[in-house]
Structure 1
């Protein structure tokens, strides 16, 4: 699934990385616990989270995540968006709860490993 499809499926707003929406993602992770992301995320390209702080971007960078989607309408501040932009990470926000967002992506073909 390409990131522009993720945007459409989740009715998301792109906060940075609009020029990289043609990137392919093959799996996703939904978590508000960054320690779990660091411990268990392998080969996942998309992170869905409601946690809004700079550590999310640092974690995404360390685990080679291409895109962060903030769920529940959460919106990071400009410093976080700038940090993601500098690291080439696409950032989106959507109004869906995490469970629903994961379900929508799964039912639209983002199956994972």
Structure 2
């Protein structure tokens, strides 16, 4: 699934990285605990979270994730947006809650991330 399709399905606003919306994601992971992201996520995964800060982008950078969707209408601050731009990470925001966002994407064929114990 492309990030453009994710944007459409979640009725999301692209905050940064519009030029990268043709990237493909194979799985999604929904979580507010970045320690779980570090422990279980592999690349080509879309991160859905309500944790809106630069730590989220640093985690995405470490895990080589290309996009983060902030749920519940949360908006990142300028520092977080700049960090995402520096690392070519797409940021979107949706008004849907995490559960609904996950359900929409799953119903359209985007599978949950495989648990990778590192």
> What TM-score does the superposition give when structure 2 sets the normalisation length?
0.92
* Aligned residue number for residue 56 of structure 1: 56
Structure 1 ranges of 4+ moved more than 3 A = none
Q: How does 1:12-91 map to 2 (within 5 A)?
A: 12-91=12-91
**Structure 2 segments unaligned to the other structure (5+ residues):** none
Q: CA RMSD in A?
A: 1.0
Q: What secondary structure, in the 3-state scheme, does the structure 1 residue paired with 2:42 have? A: coil
Q: How far did residue 78 of structure 1 move?
A: 1.1
**Structure 1 segments unaligned to the other structure (5+ residues):** none
> What TM-score does the superposition give when structure 1 sets the normalisation length?
0.96
- The answer (yes or no) to whether the contact 2:15–2:91 under 8 Å persists in 1 is yes
Q: How far did residue 43 of structure 1 move?
A: 3.2
| Count of paired positions | 113
- The answer (yes or no) to whether the contact 1:29–1:44 under 8 Å persists in 2 is no
